[in-house]
Amino acid sequence: MSISLSSDAIRTTIRQVASAWEAGDAEAIASPFADDAEFIVPGSCWRGREEIRQEAAKFAQTHTEVKITIKLIVVEGNLAFAEWDWQDVEKQSGKRTLAEDAIAVEFRDGKIIRWREYIDTDTPTPA
């Protein structure tokens, strides 16, 4: 039997992923993803919950001060679209990154199966 999440549950899941990025918690980032999920950002595609966890852990080791400001979450059935502002600091260089991020998220059986980010670092709005 297929598990379908409510719109509120989908919004909550996206907020939890954002909070996990801010906390640098790779386990919590990967937890809502299906075993065969894809996480796509410009230049990279991570396949499977374990690879998502590993890549999130690598990011947490090299970046700090992650701050996400969610601007919008729209849900239609098992699909969601989120828009947020992202900030982080690279630990080694101290370089701060500001980005506007649009994310398409697809759910199946209560888990995220595809997370696709479209990131704009050229014209970010200050948070």
What's the pTM? 0.92
Domain 7-120 class in CATH: alpha beta
Q: What is the pLDDT of residue 125?
A: 61
Structural domain spans, the chain: 7-120
**Helix (H), strand (E), coil (C) string for the chain:** CCCCCCHHHHHHHHHHHHHHHHHCCHHHHHCCEEEEEEEEECCEEEECHHHHHHHHHHHHHHEEEEEEEEEEEEEECCEEEEEEEEEEEECCCCCEEEEEEEEEEEEECCEEEEEEEEEECCCCCCC
Q: How confident is the model at residue 127 (pLDDT cuts 50, 70, 90)?
A: low
At 65-114, the pLDDT tens digits run 999 999 999 999 999 999 999 999 999 999 999 999 999 999 999 999 99
Quick one: pLDDT band at residue 126, thresholds 50, 70, 90?
low
Q: What is the mean pLDDT of the chain?
A: 95
